[in-house]
Amino acid sequence: MSKTIFTIFMFLVATVHGKKMVPCFFVFGDSLVDNGNNNDRDTVANANFLPYGIDYPNGPTGRFTNGRNVADFIAEALGFADHIPSFATANGDDAVVNGTNYASGSAGILSETGKEFGDVISFDEQLQNHQTTIARITSMLGSSRAAKKHLGQCIYYVGMGSNDYAAYTMNPTRPSPDQYASLLIDNYSLQLRKLYGYGARKVAVFGLGSIGCVPAAYYMYGTLCMSATKTTSGVFNTKLRSLINLLNQDLVGAKFTYINTFGIAASKNSSFEYPNLECCTVTPGGTCVPLGIVCPDRACFAYFDGFHPTEAAAAVLAKRAFAARSPSDAHPFDIQHLVHAK
């Protein structure tokens, strides 16, 4: 039996016996879920060095945290035995059996976002990479019809926009919050519709978190932290939730859902002993100093560096995205119900 046939056979066995809730899981996003796509690119937006990965079984992998990220925890909740491979390392077998992670640190909805940090992979480019994956799946399954049926059963994670707002805050001639949010949402709508056109049907779209209250921004905003966040990410999130409703109305068979990252983060961070402090020694840019000092009590911190959550904080967000604790956590349904949505 050839390797390819054996792989597909094992995939079918796993599906039949219920080891996985869905056949595959695809991840699109930025540094919150990047698991190594930036490692070998010409960019300073990477995390393939200690203390990043200090608590991950394989050590530093390119994840911008001490251990697992949100996508890793969701993959585990969906029943995957292994975390989803990065596009940079995935092969054809991986694409069929588990899925692919396309996320790239510093990437955004707008193609130009993050380019000042080097060769990062925008959402548009991530969608192009997904086409490469679809071609692999089509070749392995034998037809585009089989591939589309397969893709329609998978779960898709999409989380973009934080870096677009980082660029927005540094733009001296920036438009109003409403104008900028509309610009992003218009682009996002086209991109999410394109993903639907590629075969995606069950898509969890994560809203922006409390981007004005990360440790790196906290010292800048001080007591204005929450106000500054609400006038930027809050406007975007309101429009994004409306977009999710529109996509579900417009697209036949579409099951998009909105994950209220901001609301979950606001409540979860209050449960940490250190909700606004970074765990590692950081550079002026807010990332961990290579081989720098790191706190020993990482489970007590909401943030690992100046921008990114610890593994402990990522676990809380993933748990509530997967199984909502409050009706406001997800709309119209959480990920476990998205799996069974018809």
Catalytically active residues, by annotation = 31, 305, 308
Q: Nearest CA to 301 among 326, 276, 284?
A: 276
Burial (CB count within 10 angstroms: exposed 0-12, middle 13-18, buried 19+), residue 325 = middle
318-326 long-range contacts, CB within 8 A, separation 24+: 318/70, 318/71, 318/72, 318/73, 318/74, 318/77, 319/73, 319/77, 320/264, 320/268, 321/70, 321/74, 321/204, 321/206, 321/259, 321/264, 322/73, 322/74, 322/77, 323/77, 326/263
Instruction: Tell me the C-alpha to C-alpha distance, in Å, between residue 108 and each of 111, 112, 181, 271.
Output: 7, 8, 13, 29
Question: Which residue pairs from 140-143 have beta carbons closer than 8 angstroms and sit at least 24 positions apart in sequence?
Answer: 140/4, 140/8, 140/92, 140/93, 140/95, 140/96, 141/8, 141/96
- Return d(Cα 134, Cα 139) in angstroms, integer: 8
Q: Which residues pair with 157 in a beta bridge?
A: 27, 204
